[in-house]
Amino acid sequence: MAKLGYLIYESAMNKVPTEYSSLSVKEREDAIREKMFEVLGIDKYEKKSFRRAMRKHSAEVYEIIEDVATQILNNGDYAKNEFFNTFVELKNEALGDTNEFYIEGENSLEVVEFSGSHFNANRKRYDAGEKFGVEVKDYIVSCFEYAERIASGRVDFAKIIADMTVAINDKLSETAQTTFAAALAHLPSVFTLSGSFVEQDILTLAAHVQASTGEKPYAIGTAVALSKLQGKKDLSSYSSNMKEELNRNGRLSIWNGITCVELAQGHKKGTFDFTMDDNVVYFLSGGEKPVKMFLEGDAEYREVGATWDGRENADKSVEQEITYKAGCAVMYNKMLGKVVFE
């Protein structure tokens, strides 16, 4: 089963194991299906024998899928986007990490935690560094396919697993981003600014961040947000290099001495809504990663509605669910700044 799980994992990640390098995509899919049939104890797909085999061996099939999902979670594709690299401190129990995050206690500590449908905020003061854990919750990713199409090979099994894993990755990324955005709603008023572009007011906010942290802040936001930060441009005062950079990137990398870092934009799962607000620019200092995320344990798989489990859905579809536990909170002891353009 481990061998089959590895093959499905590699196919889902669009990688080809050495022993299958000479196979076409279709041949590789056939190989996956044949190995699945070996687990089920059948030679080929035939409706009646397949359903009987699934009744006997469904647990083994589910274990394979759980192994695949856990491998891809541990691979951490979700942690490779720019937002995670900039803002998220990630720990994974499956990789030997513990649910423990350390925060220096020089200033007031702000903790904002995602609770499924709302955010809880607490502000405390500590004279020394403190260790914290985040509350973990269940997350479920569901999809369905027609049972006969899966069994007969008209749907690529590896693609189904890959799609479910992408959904997990997207959900983790979205959770981290929305938790971060909600946390900054609790900043003191001197560190927030809303309205039309007023350069002097923005520079004053950045000065407050620097005075609070002792470090020069940098500005971070989407490409659209950073263009709003830099406002209307008087090109007559620009050097040739600045004009070239503006033409190439649409903005300057340094604005009034403040380094500007672009956040890649994305869509919320199943919608065309952006994950990041194009009207917001954040001011941070140092290497602070305020979002704390913890993954607990392995993924679990279950299938509902299959004809072989006696609970067939009316449309004969199969619901596939991967569940996993994760926790996400924002903890910071260095003040951040937030500018909202209206």
Q: Across residues 21-48, what is the average pLDDT?
A: 82
What does the H/E/C string look like for 115-167? Answer: CCCCEEEEEEECCCCEEECCCCEEEEEEEEEEHHHHHHCCCCHHHHHHHHHHH
pLDDT at 278: 93
What does the H/E/C string look like for 1-63? Answer: CHHHHHHHHHHHCCCCCHHHCCCCHHHHHHHHHHHHHHHHCCCCCCHHHHHHHHHHHHHHHHH
Tokens matching residue 229: 């930060």
Matching residue, tokens 């996956």 = 32
pLDDT at 316: 60
**Do the Cβ atoms of 289 and 180 come closer than 8 Å?**
no
What separation in angstroms does the CA of 93 have from each of 8, 202, 297? Answer: 23, 41, 6
What separation in angstroms does the CA of 302 have from each of 59, 75, 143, 306, 309? Answer: 9, 22, 11, 11, 11
Cα–Cα distance measured from residue 14 to residue 162, given in angstroms and rounded to the nearest whole number: 9
Among 36-50, 293-307, 309-323, whose mean pLDDT is lowest? 309-323
Whether the predicted pLDDT of 157 surpasses 80: no
pLDDT band at 281 (very low <50, low <70, confident <90, very high): very high
> Which position has the higher pLDDT, 213 or 161?
213
Cα–Cα distance measured from residue 135 to residue 14, given in angstroms and rounded to the nearest whole number: 34
pLDDT at 81: 67
Cα–Cα distance measured from residue 340 to residue 51, given in angstroms and rounded to the nearest whole number: 57
pLDDT at 153: 74
pLDDT at 124: 47
> Which position has the higher pLDDT, 35 or 340?
340
Mean pLDDT of the chain: 77
Q: Across residues 91-110, what is the average pLDDT?
A: 74
Element (H, E) at 180: helix 157-183
Q: Is 232 helix (H, G, I), strand (E, B) or coil?
A: coil
Tokens matching residue 246: 């503006």
Element (H, E) at 193: strand 192-195
- Give the residue from 203, 210, 219 showing the smallest Cα distance to 262: 219
pLDDT at 203: 95
194-227 tens-digit pLDDT: 998 899 999 999 999 999 888 899 998 999 999 9
pLDDT at 306: 55
Range picked from 87-96, 189-198, 240-249, 312-321 for highest mean pLDDT: 189-198
Q: Across residues 241-246, what is the average pLDDT?
A: 85
pLDDT at 25: 75
**Nearest 5°: phi and psi at 36?**
-65, -40
pTM over 0.95: no
* DSSP per-residue letters across 52-109: HHHHHHHHHHHHHHHHHHHHHHHHTGGGGSHHHHHHEEEEEGGGT--S-EEE--SSEE
Amino acid symbol at 248: R
pLDDT band at 80 (very low <50, low <70, confident <90, very high): low
pLDDT at 330: 84
